[in-house]
Amino acid sequence: MSMYRRLAPRIFVPLYERLSGRRPWTELRRLRELQWRAPEELEARALAKLRPLLAHAYVHVPYYRELFARAGLRPEDIGTVSDLARLPLTGKAELRAGFPLRVVADDAPARQRWLARTSGSAGLPFEFYGDRAASDVWLASYLFFREWAGVVVPTTFYVASPSHLAANPRASPWIKLARRIVLGERVVHLSGIDLGAARFAARLRRVVTKSGYAIWGWPAYLARLGAELLEAGIELSSYPRGVVTYGESLTETDARVIERAFQCRVANHYSSWEILHLAQTCPDNPRLLHVNSERAIVRVVREDGSPAAVGEPGRVVITDLANRVMPFINYDIGDRAQAGAPCPCGRGFPTLMGLEGRVGELIRTPGGKTLSPVALGWLLTHGHRALPYIWEYQAVQTAADTLVLRIVPTDRFTREVAIEIERALTALLGSDITVKVEAVDRIALEPSGKRLIIKSELAPRSTISG
């Protein structure tokens, strides 16, 4: 293995870049240096990529041409990143309605695009095209964030649902073989749905060498696995260098359980199927995520589309700077966050705070209060210090005025704890919603394989803005 690690950067990587014409490692070296530049310089660089993208979309994508026309704008009217607020948002519904003719660039050759589908956690699946020419950009972003998490190691476990793992472009047998031969990397996919602690420990003993390993996975599965390891008192044969979560909200509770069980740091990696590898927890400051502004412009906006102030929660709106086949401009991805202040670490990349799950995962009380997964997590962990009593939880709105908090209890859990939690939630949400804490053996997964932290059983309504 060490031979690979010495030879890979000097021989295999330059050879790969020459033969393939792709330069992800060159791009990676650029990112390592750019992260320390001033925010103004990085914004200017993003703007220099944004301008030609807007001009391209205006000429070649009918949907965006009409969007500009309706707003009475031309591409050259967008002179700064905040000018993007003048252009209406685009959601999954619009992209689905216009696919492919109105939303795909009319000059993109068929060989430049790849077709993908996203299950759409808001219940609105849609198809899209990725841009093969953008692979350097997202691959470099992935390599860069991997270094941030300290998980550049020979063996990586992926823990997600089987269908998600199967769809991962890096799961193809060819890419796995290439990683194994060229980079000496081994990738192990494990389905989180039925991954027990004993089976994981056994698998680890068989696969992992002294040179270390990392875990990437969905936080709900990793937290469940971690809770099981702690509960059963299972000692792992070795512990990972780091854990990286993706795919769903990382709550405080889950982060703590994962860190305790795997005895390492956990990084929150923000990536979407449509726009891969966007942002990740700062290596020096777990409270903030940094956005790779070479890859995308990420804004946090109010309901009316205007920019949210630092610390103010809003919708996450993304402009992908690399995909010219099917441009995503001012794309309302369905996530929520707060715009972050500059990070004291000294890196110039923009920041996000309190990244939260989908809009559909919010609970709304009759009185108009909302409860998000992160808010619930904060209440239970910081506000109420309920961590010692709870392995897992899920809040389910069973009726407009009823909220059931399902809890998989530890052996310290008592009826008094349940009553205290009910009181704390009622204090937060108001008395027009009845809160019941219910101890359960397990929390069921959704048909998609995901575990929702917050779930609504009310009649479905559209959560996509028009």
Which lies closer to Zn ion via its Cβ, residue 243 or residue 343?
343
Residue 186 contacts residue 213 (beta carbons within 8 Å): no
Which lies closer to Zn ion via its Cβ, residue 282 or residue 452?
282
Task: Kindly state the smallest distance separating residue 294's Cβ from Zn ion, in Å.
Answer: 16
Return the range that interacts with Zn ion (CB under 5 A); candidates 41-49, 78-86, 124-132, 275-283: 275-283
As given in the structure block, the two tokens for residue 433 are 């919603």
As given in the structure block, the two tokens for residue 444 are 């069921």
Give Cα 133 to chain centroid, integer Å. Answer: 23
Task: Kindly state the smallest distance separating residue 148's Cβ from Zn ion, in Å.
Answer: 10
Task: Kindly state the smallest distance separating residue 36's Cβ from Zn ion, in Å.
Answer: 11
Q: Is residue 282 at the binding interface for Zn ion, with CB under 5 A as the rule?
A: yes
Task: Kindly state the smallest distance separating residue 285's Cβ from Zn ion, in Å.
Answer: 5
Task: Kindly state the smallest distance separating residue 182's Cβ from Zn ion, in Å.
Answer: 32
Q: Is residue 347 at the binding interface for Zn ion, with CB under 5 A as the rule?
A: yes
As given in the structure block, the two tokens for residue 64 are 């965006």
Task: Kindly state the smallest distance separating residue 402's Cβ from Zn ion, in Å.
Answer: 41
Which lies closer to Zn ion via its Cβ, residue 31 or residue 54?
31
d(CA 243, CA 245): 7
Q: Is residue 450 at the binding interface for Zn ion, with CB under 5 A as the rule?
A: no
Which lies closer to Zn ion via its Cβ, residue 92 or residue 347?
347
- Find residue 456's DSSP bridge partners: 397
Which lies closer to Zn ion via its Cβ, residue 347 or residue 384?
347
Which lies closer to Zn ion via its Cβ, residue 350 or residue 449?
350
Closest listed residue to residue 278, CA positions, set 267, 286, 289, 288: 289
Return the range that interacts with Zn ion (CB under 5 A); candidates 14-22, 218-226, 274-282, 386-394: 274-282
Closest listed residue to residue 165, CA positions, set 130, 206, 195: 195
d(CA 141, CA 32): 10
d(CA 327, CA 343): 30
Query: Alpha-carbon torsion 78, 83, 86, 87, what sign?
Result: positive
Across 369-456, the runs of DSSP E, i.e. the strands, are 370-371, 390-399, 402-409, 434-439, 454-456
**Residues 224-263, mask of contacts with Zn ion (x by CB under 5 A):** ----------------------------------------
Task: Kindly state the smallest distance separating residue 293's Cβ from Zn ion, in Å.
Answer: 13
Which lies closer to Zn ion via its Cβ, residue 283 or residue 383?
283
Task: Kindly state the smallest distance separating residue 313's Cβ from Zn ion, in Å.
Answer: 20
Residue 137 contacts residue 325 (beta carbons within 8 Å): no
Q: Interface residues for Zn ion in 326-345 (CB under 5 A)? A: 343, 345
Q: Is residue 418 at the binding interface for Zn ion, with CB under 5 A as the rule?
A: no
CB count in 10 Å sphere of residue 237 = 10
Task: Kindly state the smallest distance separating residue 290's Cβ from Zn ion, in Å.
Answer: 6
Which lies closer to Zn ion via its Cβ, residue 242 or residue 357?
242
d(CA 245, CA 268): 5
Q: How many residues bind Zn ion (CB under 5 A)?
A: 5
Q: What share of the chain is helix, strand, coil (3-state, %, to 5)?
A: 40, 25, 35
Return the range that interacts with Zn ion (CB under 5 A); candidates 119-127, 260-268, 283-291, 321-329: 283-291
Which lies closer to Zn ion via its Cβ, residue 287 or residue 442?
287
Select the residue interacting with Zn ion from 119, 191, 285, 398 (CB under 5 A): 285
d(CA 147, CA 187): 17
As given in the structure block, the two tokens for residue 66 are 């009409």
Task: Kindly state the smallest distance separating residue 291's Cβ from Zn ion, in Å.
Answer: 11
As given in the structure block, the two tokens for residue 372 are 């998000």
Which lies closer to Zn ion via its Cβ, residue 201 or residue 345?
345
Q: Is 80 exposed, middle or buried (0-12, 13-18, 19+ CB in 10 A)?
A: exposed
For residue 298, give the H/E element and its range. Answer: strand 296-301
Look up residue 71 and give its amino acid: A
- Find residue 352's DSSP bridge partners: 289, 339
Task: Kindly state the smallest distance separating residue 300's Cβ from Zn ion, in Å.
Answer: 17
Which lies closer to Zn ion via its Cβ, residue 205 or residue 287?
287
Q: Is residue 267 at the binding interface for Zn ion, with CB under 5 A as the rule?
A: no
Residue numbers at the binding site for Zn ion (CB under 5 A): 282, 285, 343, 345, 347
